[in-house]
Amino acid sequence: MFNHTKGTKRLAARVVKLLAGAALVFGGAAAYAGIAATKHNLGASTGSNVNYMTTGTTEICVFCHTPHASNTGVKAPLWNKPVNGGVYTTYNTSTSATIDGSVSMTGVSLACLSCHDGTQAMDSMINGPGSGNYVAGGATISGGVWTGANQTAGKMNSNTVAMLGTDLSNDHPVGIQYCGGGISTGSASTTDASTGTCRDPDFTTPQNKIIGGARAWWVDNSVGTAGNREKTDMILYARAVTLSGDATDGFYQPFVECGSCHDPHNSTNATFLRIPNAQSAVCLTCHNK
């Protein structure tokens, strides 16, 4: 005899599994479509890519990330590219007499500049697509052909301001302590770092919280929930300061990097900004003017 109760439970369980599977499929597709529709999709595919490969690979993530054998010398997740060794002219006291703080091109901005400084081809990678394409010093894809008006031989050219070059003195500072020379109090020499206020009152005091065992900083804005670090906040990056004679020398501090204002995986807003810049909302999130 058919047990209606057990039969109903089995049917319900099957429906739940089907719905869960559909959620994974469509959720994955939605996430894939997000980066696929941006200018950072460099693989051979359809879409509104500005620069892309007509032949070489249809992969998207491989141009920046690899699940194995990544470049551990770069402070970016599973980075798949060699980088310029930090040889940049930065925006600093020689550019502006009012700028304060440690400037050091050793942070996550090197990942962005590995394409945007124009010194190497955008398909120069350590672990190429497929099997057997690992090259420790990086190599371009064999047989790869590029198209797009903003590239030359696969390198970004000077047709747009997105090609920053190695002279960053005319760009917003990156690799610099946040808030006019950093956080004024505290003396922590580990990632559980200082939590004081900004030295310069012209900056918004950042939020901070221990996340994953280390102190993280960010600057809240009107988007999202106050007090929670979210992708729409201005993200700050922690590392030790190297500034001889300064009170913060050797201590972990929040730094401004390219990713503070830009989310490389989301082009909902112009130029990958984390929030729309209407009424200068991006600028005024950090600058208390």
Task: Indicate if 65 and 155 belong to the same structural domain.
Answer: yes
CA atoms within 13 A on the CB side of 117: 23
Q: Is residue 36 part of a domain?
A: no
Distance, CA of 101 to CA of 94 (rounded, Å) = 13
Q: Does 154 map to a domain?
A: yes
Chunked mean pLDDT (size 10), the chain, 289 residues: 45 39 37 75 78 93 96 94 87 74 86 96 96 95 93 95 94 90 58 65 88 85 87 91 70 90 94 95 94
Q: Are residues 163 and 213 in the same domain?
A: no
Q: Under 8 Å CB-to-CB from 148, ≥6 apart: which residues?
A: 49, 50, 51, 52
SS3 sequence of 23-89: HHHHHHHHHHHHHHCCCCCCCCCCCCCCCEEEECCCCCHHHCECCCCCCCCCCCCCECCCCCCCCCE
Q: What is the DSSP letter of 186?
A: -
For the entire predicted model, the pTM comes to 0.83
Is the residue at 250 inside a domain? Answer: yes
Predicted local confidence at residue 252, as pLDDT: 80
Identity of residue 168: L
Is 17 part of any domain? Answer: no
Identify whether residues 60 and 164 lie together within a single domain: yes
pLDDT at 165: 96
Give the angle subtended at the CA of 265 by the CAs of 63 and 73, to the nearest 5°: 50
Domain-embedded: residue 195: yes
Place of tokens 């946040």: 178
Provide the pLDDT for residue 26. Answer: 34
Residue 216 domain boundaries: 176-286
Q: Is residue 113 part of a domain?
A: yes
Q: What is the pLDDT of residue 86?
A: 67
pLDDT of residue 244: 64
- The total number of structural domains in the chain stands at 2
pLDDT recorded at residue 204: 92
Return all residues near 178 (Cβ < 8 A) that are at least 6 apart.
101, 198, 203, 206, 217, 219, 236, 253, 254, 255, 256, 286
Residue 31 lies in a domain: no
Contact yes or no for 202/288 (Cβ under 8 A): yes
Place of tokens 């900056």: 203
Indicate the burial class of 195 (C-beta count within 10 angstroms; 0-12, 13-18, 19 or more).
middle
Which among 72, 84, 82 has a CA at the least distance from the CA of 125?
A: 82
Determine how many CB atoms are found less than 10 A away from the CB of residue 13. 10
**CB contact set of 92 (below 8 Å; sequence gap of 6+):** 99, 103, 169, 173, 176
Which of 286, 287, 218, 215 lies closest to 251 in space, CA to CA?
215
Q: Which residues of 199-228 are buried (b: 16+ CB within 10 A; e: fewer)?
A: bbeebbebbbeeeeeebbbbbbbeeeeeee
